[in-house]
Chain A
């Protein structure tokens, strides 16, 4: 199926054909606050950021096939906005801000989705990398969030996923610090585009890593492309 140099000894004896295996996957679920406080320019910038995320992933041939995106929103109620799709098939939705902040339930839904996806990968013999859960909020949970904090900490200990929390101005950092095993980050202003560019770059690096590689993430608080502060 795939020809290679016809002038070689191999070429004269036949064409080597490659095995067609499913690409290994990098699953990522975005957990996005769409409560009333996000309404206005914030949600507008976030929507633009999601398009940047998709475009950046599509610029990388391997990442486009390997990174899988899902999205859970919480504004009034928890919605599975996007079920896992490869970057090529990811159509960023236009989000609107309305309702309360059921953050705990949203995180639980997202972690359930990760578990389901891992099960599907295993059943179908698809290799995969450690899943990402990425929370963006400008408020505080109005639901029962303490149990989900222990679920996040247990998952991080077992390396079941990596959980990141980003606070937009107004977020309750004390809660985010209790939720996340890693230090939560503040978003600088409304630098959603930079945030999603960083996310895409980090996942591109992970999607081509091999055994023994621990992929160091670029510090998002530093440099001209920084988007966060602690």
Chain B
């Protein structure tokens, strides 16, 4: 079984502006232990897009909903193909486009990035458009699945709502069993990743994953994560919105199920 937490906090800069947090994250375990999967996504709404907060929320909700539909029809997540998640992203984008049309707003007003992971027992699919990152651990080794996509300049990236999103969407399938997964938006990137070596910064993740593993109640932990993301030591390094999603496969309960 998986134990997971996810928290989005508003950056200091946005708090001063009176803007709302434009990040969103969602995580669910869908299905049963043998055939189901952990489905996780985070999305970062663009600062200049006036409705990006709804954009990022709709993107995450759509992905979770489509994953649930998939399990209902197929009763397994182990056969999911890259084409399926591309279709999910397409549909998530269309859902956002429909809302934009109803409200007579251009699609770019909902600009948001998307990082997603579907972690089945022995096979995982990752997908990403724009910045942010997915960090995954297998056999004790950490890796960043896709390096955050940004343009030449730091304040430029691609979005699910971009017209060229098909070319920018990255998808990969990995076989094997992942034990720990983290998804994060760009507000956390520079604290959690080593930009020279293009690796996760292990001393950042070790204590966080250890805490998730040791936790008895995930709601207490979620509060702790919020306090951590809002602590001075974090905000003095980056005052953007931040989302951090952490998930760990808990071995004991897997044995119970087996």
Contact = CB atoms under 8 A, between A and B. Distances in A.
B207 A16 contact: yes
Q: Which 9 A-B pairs have the closest CB atoms?
A: A212-B46, A19-B201, A17-B203, A14-B207, A211-B157, A213-B47, A8-B224, A127-B154, A209-B155
Interface in B215-258: 215, 220-221, 224-225, 227-228, 231, 233-234, 236-237, 239-240
B175 interface: no
A21 interface: yes
A4 B194 contact: no
Interface in A127-154: 127-130
Nearest to A209: B155
A127 B207 contact: no
Contacts of A17: 201, 203-204
B141 interface: no
Nearest to A211: B157
Contacts of A15: 207
B150 A18 contact: no
Interface string A1-39: 011110011100111111101101000000000000000
Contacts of A212: 45-49, 52, 111, 155-157, 159
Interface stretch (B35-43, B69-77, B91-99, B185-193): B185-193
B186 A211 contact: yes
Contacts, number: 120
A118 to B, nearest CB: 8
Contacts of A16: 203-204, 207-208, 228
Interface in A201-222: 206, 208-215
B103 interface: no
Nearest to B215: A9
A17 B201 CA distance: 8
Interface in A112-129: 125, 127-129
B46 A14 contact: no
A67 B215 CA distance: 42
Interface string B126-159: 0000110000000000000000001011111101
Nearest to B220: A9
Contacts of B111: 212
A213 B228 contact: no
A8 B204 contact: no
Given A8-B227, A212-B48, A215-B155, 11 more contacts: A13-B210, A14-B206, A14-B210, A19-B204, A61-B236, A125-B196, A128-B154, A129-B153, A159-B153, A210-B240, A213-B155
Contacts of B234: 4, 18
A13 B236 contact: no
A159 B155 CA distance: 13
Interface in B64-82: none
Given A9-B224, A209-B155, A3 B233 contact: yes
B173 interface: no
A214 B131 CA distance: 16
Given A24-B154, A210-B155, A212-B46, A125 B228 contact: no
A13 B211 contact: yes
Nearest to B155: A209
A137 B112 CA distance: 42
Nearest to A131: B153
A128 B195 CA distance: 13
B228 A21 contact: no
B166 interface: no
